Amino acid sequence: MTRFSTFILAVVMVSGGVSSAFAQLQPRYIVSPFAPFFNYGGRSSGPIPRTVVDFQSNYAPGTIYIDTTERRLYLVTGRSQAIRYGIGVGRDGYGWAGALRVSAKREWPNWFPPAEMLARRPDLPRFMPGGLENPLGARALYLGSTLYRIHGSNEPETIGQAVSSGCFRMTNDDVIDLYNRVSVGATVIVR
């Protein structure tokens, strides 16, 4: 048994067991077990906590709806509900709208800045391996054959802002949650 797992076992035993700890969580809000590793602490999944909300639409469950003005991403779950996540969006001149599909999913993706980005920022590395320092964060969902992605971020303070080159940023905790719920082929609608 590792030191970390021994510590977790001790905490669970002292707190009265797993069932009493989980019984106190609200069913409408779930924090990923990875949250402590990304320093988000407590019950928050970042600066804009994810929540289950009423969502009236004709979209099928599994559809991702992105409201760039509101800076929120909605994953339609059915029964007129969705999970709402805070996101960072494209800064002025880099926003876009349309409908695409999730074409691929990657855990701890490598990053190759596109030529357009390198032209604006020649100081960027040409390649960065996946990991905590990588700007794509813990997970990435690739959108069609475009350069755009829904991805994690090593800068959670940018969530809720217009800061990207057209991609949609989420906290690592939230993108892991979304990644585990979405399949390749899912529809993504950006407004």
Q: Which residues are catalytic?
A: 151, 167
Residue with tokens 């880099």: 94
- Do residues 190 and 102 touch, judged by C-beta distance below 8 A? no
Q: Which residues contact 135 (CB under 8 A, 6 or more apart)?
A: 111, 128, 153, 154, 155
Q: Which residues contact 20 (CB under 8 A, 6 or more apart)?
A: none
**Amino acid present at 36:** P
What are 78's two structure tokens? 């059915």
Is residue 80 helix, strand or coil? coil
**Amino acid present at 40:** Y
Q: Which residues contact 160 (CB under 8 A, 6 or more apart)?
A: 47, 48, 71, 86, 87, 88
Point out which residues pair with 89 in neighbouring strands. Answer: 162
